[in-house]
Amino acid sequence: MEIIVFLALIIIIIGIFERKAHNKNLNNIPSIIHVNGIRGKSSTTRLIAAVLRAGGLKVLAKTTGSAARIIYPDQSEREIIRHGPPSISEQKKIVQLAVKEKVDVLVIECMAVSPEIQWSSENLFLNADHMVITNIRNDHLDKMGNNLREIAETICLSLPYNSNVISSEKNLSHLIKEKAKMRKNQYSNTDNIIFTKKELQPFEKEVFTDNMACAIKIAQHFKIDRKTALKGMYSVTEDPGSLKYYFLKGKNRNIIFINAFAANDPESTEIIWNRVSENFDALPVQNPRVYALINHRSDRAFRLKEFAEFLTKKNRFNAFLLSGALKFRQQRLLQKRLKAKKNILKLNLSIFVHNKFNKLSNYFNNLEKGKDLIIFGCGNIHGDAEIISEFFAESGVEIKC
């Protein structure tokens, strides 16, 4: 018993010293920007970092999207390799690195999901000077809440005290503002930030203006003019999980693969679909058959019904390719809504034991031979979708749209 008490005391003492060291590190970083929300956190983190660099500040940034990255002041990047599940204690190491790099600003994406971790991510690990909330969408319903308001309240647990809160959320902005003011924060939204076609034209990749607006608001706080801020955003390196188009020349036909897996939730996927479908006429395909390729993680069953609604709306897809752990359940939901079994195919990568890329090439080449295809990848990137995305990235050519 005495040994247990002694060991407990040792752990407490170590914890106290670690906490003091971490607080000292936080005090040695002039400014910390914490980026939270449901969608667009990684892109917004990158945009903010680019804006601040363009303004002459030394910036370290860290994203936690499809592939977590550290972005150094010289804009070089390093992937974060994890040996186990993600943990918010990872943020402590990033704070240490920011001190070592002697940065002016640390821009860091929130890692938290559950309410208790949302609170501790800010109050125990960061104590940010600026909090950015990108948006509130239906996601992580098993941990964050049963509806949009509950999800917003969970995210608001990460709000700092006596700081600045910026958000591009529209529908629940009143709730975020109320919670921000309760903690004596200065709140501002991005409703008055509008971009012209001329300002958007230099971007090589598609960018969401709500994310850009958050970066402009941060620029205003740091007294960086709009022209300089936009110049920084034009140079931003895209997130590995960002929307991409690939062109694959098949046998007597063309295939376009649209990688929209990173959207994750049906609402975000709907927004992306509406944008990309407007550009179909500009793609190098003629009278294409449009496929949805849906991949789900085993722990995301709560999204199946909503995705079935998105997939079957307005007859937008000619056929469906199902992959991942939940393909049989997704198939049943689609069949029920479509009242038919035709044009619902399962792509089972587990049977491709060897030469997966060659077998994927044969599979797609034999899919509706002679007809041009557009394949819209959605659902979740993890698992089979990673392999499919890598196949198109290596076998095809990335194109702009």
For position 168, what pLDDT does the model report?
Answer: 97
Q: Over the stretch 96-122, which tens digit does the pLDDT of each residue have?
A: 999 999 999 999 999 888 888 898 889
Flag the least confident range among 18-22, 67-71, 246-250, 272-276. 18-22
Domains and CATH numbers, the chain: 22-234 (3.40.1190.10), 244-399 (3.90.190.20)
For position 301, what pLDDT does the model report?
Answer: 83
pLDDT of 19 > 80? The answer is no
Give the mean pLDDT of the chain. 89
pLDDT of 314 > 90? The answer is no
Question: In DSSP terms, which residues pair with 292 in a beta bridge?
Answer: 320, 376
| Verdict on whether the full-model pTM lies above 0.95 | no
51, 225, 244, 266, 274 from 206: Cα distances, Å: 17, 23, 9, 19, 13
